[in-house]
Amino acid sequence: MTQYRVLPGPEHFLPPSAASMGIKLPNPGEGHIHGVIVPEEQAMEEAARQFLMARVPTIFPGPLVLWAWNEKAAKKATAVRHLYETIKECVAPQQKPMLIPMPDYRPKYPKINPEVEINPNHPNLTIWHNKIDCCMFVGVHCHQANLSLKIIRGGTNCFTIAMCAQAGHEDAMLSFRDATPEKIMRLAEWVRKLKGSVKPPEVVSKKEKSAG
């Protein structure tokens, strides 16, 4: 069994793909945390905990949920928005939840507005700009999610969660598989359940920050 763990970075400029380091994908009913396979409920609890501990917990909805392709996508969109609203309700005032879209995968050179969107080709810009320390990808096609997750692990210290509708993502620090609207709603329930039991991040004043 591999000793490699998928941890918040910055790992280095070109982190290895977690799969190449021996990290395996979960089976149905399971998830993984840092590359270790766990029951799905455990992953749910940990994801909810990470959202509640983060200064800027963020959801990045991708094209598969942003655009109303079909009924299933529309239901997922409702669930994702519900999760975001739940996080907003459950966090402390010093935390700043965000919902930032990834409308498509165009490279968008030479500019991207990191305040309003994230691009899979340079997701680190949005994460740096908004000081995001925990994020969840949902509705992003797998190949683009893998690319982004690796870049994020390479260049930021953000904790990444993948709510994948397929087989999950090794390159995320925590991954679900077979995402459905119900599963996303269940994650929202976990956030509500853990409200008050997770210590929110401390407020660091500018003075303290500059003092080091």
Q: Which residues bind other proteins (CB under 8 A)?
A: 61, 65-68, 73-74, 77-78, 80-81, 99-101, 103, 106-110, 113, 116-117
Q: From the CB of residue 141, how many other CB atoms can be counted at a distance below 10 Å?
A: 16
In terms of CB distance, is 69 or 128 closer to other proteins? 69
With beta carbons less than 8 A apart as the criterion, state whether 160 and 173 touch: yes
Rounded CA-CA distance 126/123 in Å is: 6
Rounded CA-CA distance 29/163 in Å is: 13
The helix/strand/coil state of 55 is coil
In terms of CB distance, is 43 or 191 closer to other proteins? 191
The helix/strand/coil state of 152 is helix
Tell me the torsion sign for CA atoms 182, 149, 103, 58.
positive
Q: How far is the CB of 174 from other proteins (least distance, A)?
A: 23
Q: How far is the CB of 66 from other proteins (least distance, A)?
A: 5
Residues 6+ apart with CB under 8 A from 192: 86, 89, 90
In terms of CB distance, is 110 or 212 closer to other proteins? 110
Q: How far is the CB of 143 from other proteins (least distance, A)?
A: 16
Q: How far is the CB of 7 from other proteins (least distance, A)?
A: 30
In terms of CB distance, is 4 or 67 closer to other proteins? 67
With beta carbons less than 8 A apart as the criterion, state whether 58 and 97 touch: yes
In terms of CB distance, is 47 or 80 closer to other proteins? 80
Q: How far is the CB of 64 from other proteins (least distance, A)?
A: 10
